Structure 1
Amino acid sequence: MNASISIIYYKFRTNKSGAHPLMLRIIKNRKTNYQSLGIYIHPDHWDFKKNKPKKNCPNGIAIQRLITEKIKEYTDKAIDLEIEKKDFTGKTLIDKVNTPVKRMNVNDLFLQEIAQLKKEGRIRYAECHDYVYKSLLKFNKHLDIYFSEIDVQWLRRYETWLRGEGNSENTIGIKFRTLRTMYNIAIREGYVKAEFYPFKDYKVSKLHENTPKRA
């Protein structure tokens, strides 16, 4: 990870009682950003050598736990962004950690995409998505699930079910390509991490049959 994340005792700001704030320091591409933890500690209660609260610090154990959790939270988010090959700055990292990510399940994202396609006048695509949406709903009984729950085993069960319903190879392929498109949208919008992407192992390209040419 090429970002440095640490806690500092920020002496350049002081409150009326003479205490200083704890700041999360993020160094990325030689630029430094700070994020306050909302905690002020008097110098008498801070161990400057060990960079942590002293034993006599009021609520010292809780403060140290918060420090550990915050460093982990920012470090994990930075690692996620690097895995997804998304560049970021210290400021954007702070924004991503502090901006709640809207959770979107499969049901809601499908309905949102269908409505958007209709709005754009792409009626055939909207109908195709609606066709797949209803198929998934019939298979799984409900779509109140997140995309991270759709793994290789889930896809194989869906494929087996489609064959049992009498779907042709090409029809199955169309449904899986549409589902793959929706999964890519979910990744792009941040509703699921790229590491959960099941189509690296489950190959949709196998779902194809040659149609005899007409004379």
Structure 2
Amino acid sequence: MSIQISYRFVVKNEKNKDGLYPIYLRAFLKGRKIETATTVAIPLRDWSLRNQRVKILNKNYEKYNMILDAIDKKSVKLLVNNFLNEEYPLTLVQFKERLIASNHTSNEESFTDYILEYLDENKVKFKAETWFGYKSQISKILKFKKRICFSDITEKFINEYRQYMLYTLGNNENTAGKSLRVLRTFVNISIRFGYIKSNPFQYISIKKVDGKRDFLSIDELNKLTDYYLKNNLLKPIDKDILGYFLFACYTGLRYSDLKTFSKDSIVNDSIHLRMHKTGYLVNIPLSTKAKMFIPDSPSNSNRVFRIYCNKVTNKVLKKTGVQLGLNKNLTCHCGRHSNYSFQLKTNELQVSIF
């Protein structure tokens, strides 16, 4: 890899509101260019095209040239660091972003504040579940340490955070691993924009172990079904949640698919739905038992179920499981596992992919 970006200072042709001409840093790469504004603006006669600096006849020439010198040095440092320490050369956009970042950041600035700001500015780029999940992970990190600077993000910090999740929060290995993968995403964002110089995850392996997947037996499913159909004292929220959980048991829909499941998705006693996770368009037979859990009362929206947040859903399901004496960790995803279990037992595959 070689240093491919070149640059020089230029005077813009248009005057600003003060009648002065702004100085920009113009970078070049393979016939393309990008410009970054500086804080320097001068009369056109005060610019030395040959030296790319402000002439001595300008009363502020020392101050302005110090600013341009500093930008010059930062640009060189960015390009050299990229050449020596990174696998791929900078693009023009990356060069500009890192140059801007270097002008208003230090290692003592808040890592978490920056990531929260980045998430808010780029919210439209993320799926809603991903965005809220990322925000939740920031809250989790801040429980470990109230203020986290860029300079704090080291291999030691990551290992201590893992230990905190496993032994203080009681997270299992997979939950801790998921949080570390999100943290790694945040670190990669910071590296991309030049806030973190070296990758602290370089020598860290994030484990993923085969966990126990709870699923319902036929008897347990029948017990829950009878409880749903015959218990008239169920709170509305409990009945709603148990209803779409049992529907998932008979159809195999994920929680994310239940949220988008609409009345238009039911065609000729089948569910025609594009899976949220995979993007596949599937056709799932709608059995008589599954139909029992579709609400009778019409809703204002086209959605079939009123879906509560995942945390509330799982809390209600666990409470229901305890009340019925089920020795299972009931979660919404347990319904999908149960459906696959039934399919395997009956050697029937109920899902067709278009």
TM more than 0.5: yes
Query: Secondary structure of the equivalent of 1:7?
Result: strand
Name the aligned partner's letter for residue 5 of structure 2: A
- Picking from 191, 198, 201, the partner of 1:199 is 201
Give the gaps of 5 or more residues in structure 2: 213-354
Q: Deviations over 1:73-95 (max 9, x none)?
A: 555566788848476347x7557
The structure, 1 or 2, with the larger RCO (C-alpha pairs under 8 Å, 6+ apart) is 1
Identity %: 14
Matched AA of 1:62: K
Report the Cα distance in structure 2 between the residues aligned to 1:20 and 1:95, rounded to whole angstroms.
23
Residues 1-215 of structure 1: pairs in structure 2 closer than 5 A: 1-8=3-10, 22-35=23-36, 37=38, 38-41=40-43, 43=45, 45-47=46-48, 49-74=50-75, 83=86, 85=88, 88-89=91-92, 94=96, 105=112, 109=116, 119-120=128-129, 136=141, 138-140=143-145, 142=146, 144-146=147-149, 149-161=152-164, 165=168, 167=170, 171-172=172-173, 174-188=175-189, 193=195, 195-205=197-207
**Aligned counterparts of 2:211 and 2:47: Cα–Cα separation in 1:** 73
Aligned Cα root-mean-square deviation (Å):
5.2
2: CA distance between counterparts of 1:53 and 1:134?
48
Normalised by the length of structure 1, the TM-score is 0.55
SS of 1:24's equivalent in the other structure is: strand
Relative to structure 1, is the Cα distance of residues 187 and 25 closer, same or farther in structure 2, using a 3 angstrom cutoff?
same
In the alignment, the residues of structure 2 paired with residue 188 and residue 27 of structure 1 have an alpha-carbon distance, to the nearest angstrom, of: 24
Structure 1: give runs of 5+ residues left out of the alignment.
Answer: none
Cα distance, 1:196–1:172 mapped onto 2, change above 3 Å:
farther
**What is the TM-score of this pair, normalised by structure 2?**
0.38
Pick closer, same or farther for the CA change 1:193–1:184 going to 2, 3 Å. farther
Any conservation in 1 of the 2:9–2:23 contact (CA below 8 Å)?
yes
Q: Secondary structure at the match of 1:58?
A: coil
From the superposition, tell whether residues 148 and 167 of structure 1 become closer, same or farther in structure 2 (CA, over 3 Å).
Answer: same
Task: Supply the AA of the counterpart residue of 1:29.
Answer: K
- 1:105 is paired with a residue whose SS is helix
